[in-house]
């Protein structure tokens, strides 16, 4: 059974600046480890609402589709539409602005796969995915001048 993994990080940027980077799915292969390509299948109001990803994360290789739900200012969530190996890939980013202009970004992810895997190993893999994604997002946002500081 899939369990939810969560983590948080502070980024020196506003929620809209961070959501802009998150919405740029096609740049994920540049900063999100394991993602080798992304194709936007459908968008609405300039944001992707359905996309196809190719994943090559060591022992797990898959092509999967996600459907996105956007909150204009503070969050985005997604759910798995289809995949070969993955059976669950549901997650969200929630953004909370601080008075100093920084933003706390929370990332929650639930992943499950068709292959049998020890619960402890799967949990460690999920934690690595979440923490790597948050660190990659922070570097991407802060190094690409999304912040005016």
In a domain, 100, yes or no: yes
Of 97, 34, 106, 23, which Cα lies nearest the Cα of 64? 34
In a domain, 31, yes or no: yes
The CATH number of residue 108's host domain is 3.30.530.20
Q: What are the start-end ranges of the H helices in the chain?
A: 15-23, 28-31, 119-143
Q: Which residue has the higher pLDDT, 67 or 136?
A: 67
Residue 117 is predicted with a pLDDT of 56
**How far is Cα 57 from Cα 142, in angstroms, rounded to an integer?**
25
Q: Which residue has the higher pLDDT, 110 or 58?
A: 110
pTM of the model: 0.85
Is the pLDDT at 64 greater than 90, yes or no?
yes
Of 91, 103, 111, which Cα lies nearest the Cα of 142? 103
In a domain, 56, yes or no: yes
In a domain, 132, yes or no: yes
Percent of the chain residues topping a pLDDT of 90: 58
- Count of structural domains within the chain: 1
* 3-class DSSP state of 33: coil
Residue 148 is predicted with a pLDDT of 44
Residue 56 makes CB contacts below 8 A (sequence gap 6+) with 34, 36
Residue 137 contacts residue 18 (beta carbons within 8 Å)? yes
In a domain, 60, yes or no: yes
* 3-class DSSP state of 145: coil
Domain carrying residue 14? 4-143
Q: Which residue has the higher pLDDT, 82 or 86?
A: 82
pLDDT band at 44 (very low <50, low <70, confident <90, very high): very high
């Amino acid at each position: 059974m899939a369990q939810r993994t969560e983590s948080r990080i502070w980024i020196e940027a506003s929620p809209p600046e961070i959501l802009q980077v998150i919405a740029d799915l096609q740049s994920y292969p540049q900063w999100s480890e394991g993602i080798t390509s992304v194709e936007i299948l459908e968008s609405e109001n300039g944001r992707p609402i359905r996309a196809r990803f190719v994943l090559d994360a060591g022992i797990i290789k898959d092509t999967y589709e996600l459907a996105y739900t956007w909150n204009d200012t503070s969050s985005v969530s997604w759910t798995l539409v289809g995949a070969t190996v993955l059976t669950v890939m549901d997650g969200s980013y929630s953004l909370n602005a601080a008075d100093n202009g920084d933003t706390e970004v929370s990332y929650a992810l639930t992943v499950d796969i068709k292959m049998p895997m020890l619960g402890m190993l799967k949990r460690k893999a999920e934690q690595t995915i979440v923490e790597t994604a948050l660190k990659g997002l922070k570097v991407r946002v802060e190094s690409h001048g999304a912040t005016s500081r």
